[in-house]
Chain A
């Protein structure tokens, strides 16, 4: 799953600076290579990144390669989407979600 245009790659290393200290709301898609539904959700997240460019930072975090952040936010199932604002989790969407539903959730925070 290559990151599309406007989609950031979050890691244990950059999470503090790029997500928690971000001025804008941030959507983080927790995924892994071995997760079929994550691959299905990927294009939806890519589309949201394009639609919300300049309003919401959108990125993906590979749970396999970044155990620290995954553990910190008690990720126990993927795909999970967390939306951060001011360093806090303001929304959590577990499992497959449709673009329209994710947009409704995002629109509450911009």
Chain B
């Protein structure tokens, strides 16, 4: 049996890597299991302009590379792989990936949230053939073509503005008549002459006309109920995120939307299990708040380890 770790951290976004940095500096030799979406949501962004200390901004993937290197510098072990199951009731806690099994005195859950989809069957079949959840990855393939961005939040605005570099026209479709995005992001998008607006509309279908590639989308007005077909070559879905908590369902307390419920800092309903970042936060969802909560989780885990009674500490 391999040795029991002090801290295992699942996830390698800003929350997970900040938890790793603090745990490493507390000499806990943390193990990070990075997960399939290693680096988290910032890996899909371009310029991050609101991370304090980065006056001129920094590219999302570069910021994550920095955080990773900083966590490693103080003695974090990072392994590739995706966690397939956990046993939070066992003592020590058991964590399995497709190629290994680990045990740990404490667990920090930093699995974040993943892009939500519209739920249309055509969306799945046309993924990679015009439907995308990653503007920075796929915008390049739509040079000179009309495309749509679905959503009304900050990420939808960022994607729409970014995609005007390539597309002939970007139509933003949002189901309400007001946007959820911050003022600064809305202003940026509204000032862009290549962006058109279809507010109070929902996407009913994405159409390929038998070509295997997106040719148009069918939208429905929420006011009149009228349906119309809009020719587009690409549909970028940016309608928010769902927390990655399927692994923990039934073992830990979740709220009605599937987020982990935390109390007194980063504590969860299971002793020795802590949560940080977007997996427990549907309100702030920023790199800096994720990082801050990762720091809290590491400190909470350290306190927990310090207070494990002697007879249990030998497991």
The residues of A with any CB-CB pair to B shorter than 8 Å are: 32, 34-40, 43-44, 63-64, 70, 74-80, 92, 94-96, 98-100
Contact = CB atoms under 8 A, between A and B. Distances in A.
Interface stretch (B131-139, B149-157, B263-271, B301-309): B131-139
Given A37-B44, A74-B213, A77-B129, A98 B36 contact: yes
A38 B134 CA distance: 11
A40 B60 CA distance: 14
Given A36-B44, A37-B44, A76 B128 contact: yes
Given A37-B134, A76-B128, A98-B98, 6 more contacts: A36-B43, A36-B61, A75-B141, A77-B141, A96-B37, A99-B98
B82 interface: yes
9 contacts: A35-B136, A37-B37, A40-B36, A43-B80, A74-B129, A76-B130, A76-B132, A79-B137, A96-B37
B244 to A, nearest CB: 13
B173 to A, nearest CB: 19
B277 interface: no
B44 A100 contact: no
B43 A77 contact: no
A64 B37 contact: no
A95 B128 contact: yes
Contact of B137 (A74, A77, A92): A77
A99 B98 CA distance: 9
Contacts of A36: 39, 43-44, 60-61, 134, 136-137
Interface residues of B, number: 28
B39 A40 contact: yes
Contacts of A99: 98
Contacts of B60: 36
Contact of A32 (B37, B80, B140, B142): B140
B86 interface: no
B212 A74 contact: yes
Contact of A77 (B44, B61, B132, B212): B132
Interface string B106-133: 0000000000000000000001111110
B294 interface: no
Contact of A94 (B127, B140, B213, B234): B127
Given A35-B137, A78-B138, A95 B44 contact: no
B61 A98 contact: no
B230 interface: no
B38 interface: yes
Interface string B152-196: 000000000000000000000000000000000000000000000
A17 to B, nearest CB: 26
Contacts of B38: 40
